[in-house]
Amino acid sequence: MKSIKFYHSIICPRCAMARRELKKLKEEFPDLEIEPIEVLTKRGKKKEDGVRQFPALVHADKSLSGFILTRAAIRSFLVDI
C-alpha cells in the first residue's frame, strides 16, 4: 500500500485542482492512502515535513510541490514511490 500526505488549504484553488486530480488517479492506484493535512490548522506538521509551498505531496523523504500540480506530475510521483 502506498501512503502519501497531501498538504492543502481549503481556501486554495490550486489545492482544489490537485485534490480533483488525486481523486481521478485513485482509480489507477486503488491501494493509495491519502492523508489530507490542512496547512492553516497544522502548521507544525508542515514544518516537520519541510513543506514550504502547497499543494504538496509527501512520502517518506520524497516530496512534490509547486504552483500547479498536474495529473502527469502527480502520476509520475506516485509511480516513483
- Helix, strand, or coil here: 60? coil
Beta-sheet pairing, 2-8 with 32-38: parallel
| Residues across the chain | 81
- pLDDT of 47 above 90: no
Taking only the tens place, the pLDDT of each residue in 52-78 is 899 999 999 899 999 999 999 999 999
Q: Which residue has the cell 498538504?
A: 7
CATH of segment(s) 1-53: 3.40.30.10
Do the beta carbons of residue 57 and residue 25 sit within 8 Å?
no
Taking only the tens place, the pLDDT of each residue in 2-44 is 899 999 999 999 999 999 999 999 999 999 999 999 999 987 8
Q: Among 30, 7, 31, 27, which residue's Cα sits nearest to residue 19?
A: 7
Q: What is the pLDDT of residue 49?
A: 85
Q: What is the pLDDT of residue 19?
A: 97
